[in-house]
Amino acid sequence: MNFEDYWDCIDDKFDELLKEGYVKFPSIANLDLSQIDKRISSQVSNKTYTELGVEHKKFIDQLLLDQYLVPKLLNFAKKEFGYKGLISNQYHIARSALPGDQKYRAHFDSHMFTLVIPISIPQVQEKGGTIGELVFFPNTRGFPKNPFFDFIGKLWFKQYSSKSGMERLSKKRNMIINSFNDYEPLLFLGNTVFHSNQPVSSNVNSHRLTLLAHYFDPFPKYGIGSLLRKIRFR
């Protein structure tokens, strides 16, 4: 695949990103994902989240994110949200979920953009089973204008972070479930779109591996983001 042109389609999608809170990119299913999965998975920890490893870095370098996608995101962030930080304000993690993974905690990210790159997506074996789908609520809140509003918004929505809480929220807000079985990367506004993952049923055929690229924390010094990230790593 030629990633020099791949990210171009975002040029026509910024309106959609702003309005809907998310956009999808063309499928990467024709890459040798099982090989990439093997390499990256050999370096993930036994925890759900692993910070950027060598193989993970190699793969995202191959995607030419920093050359093509991220400069566009930076311009957009400056223009739409008054972002004043650096292009290097990024946070990359691999999310690895095994069959039987039951974590279910919805949140806002501290960073403005979250790119989800699917590497290995299991198949459901039985009716009613789940495969760690991304569940999200487009434009749950407005863009936080300062760290205080950011904090208050996160605090307010905490009541919806559990499974039952998300069910309650889904009665008031549009809820989208994205399985990634089309292997289409998805970009969303991580700090305004409340999101979580479904459990991975214990009888699915494989683990689930996605790469999460977070771009631009508008309040890096003051935010509770870095603290929350530490807590999530425990």
User: Rule CB under 5 A: which residues touch Fe ion?
Assistant: 109
- Nearest-angstrom CA–CA distance, 167 and 170: 5
Least Å distance, CB 202 to Fe ion, is 24
- Nearest-angstrom CA–CA distance, 218 and 179: 29
In the complex with Fe ion, which residue's Cβ is closer, 109 or 217? 109
Least Å distance, CB 192 to Fe ion, is 12
In the complex with Fe ion, which residue's Cβ is closer, 109 or 133? 109
Least Å distance, CB 190 to Fe ion, is 6
Question: What is the token pair recorded at 189?
Answer: 């506004």
The conformation of residue 120, written as its DSSP 8-state character, comes to: E
In the complex with Fe ion, which residue's Cβ is closer, 31 or 52? 52
Least Å distance, CB 57 to Fe ion, is 20
Question: What is the token pair recorded at 87?
Answer: 């292009």
The conformation of residue 13, written as its DSSP 8-state character, comes to: T
* Residue 117: how many other CB atoms lie within 10 Å: 25
Question: What is the token pair recorded at 88?
Answer: 């290097």
In the complex with Fe ion, which residue's Cβ is closer, 6 or 196? 196
In the complex with Fe ion, which residue's Cβ is closer, 105 or 145? 105
Least Å distance, CB 109 to Fe ion, is 4
- Nearest-angstrom CA–CA distance, 205 and 123: 6
* Residue 53: how many other CB atoms lie within 10 Å: 18
* Residue at shortest CB range from Fe ion: 109
Alpha carbon 63 to its chain's center: 16
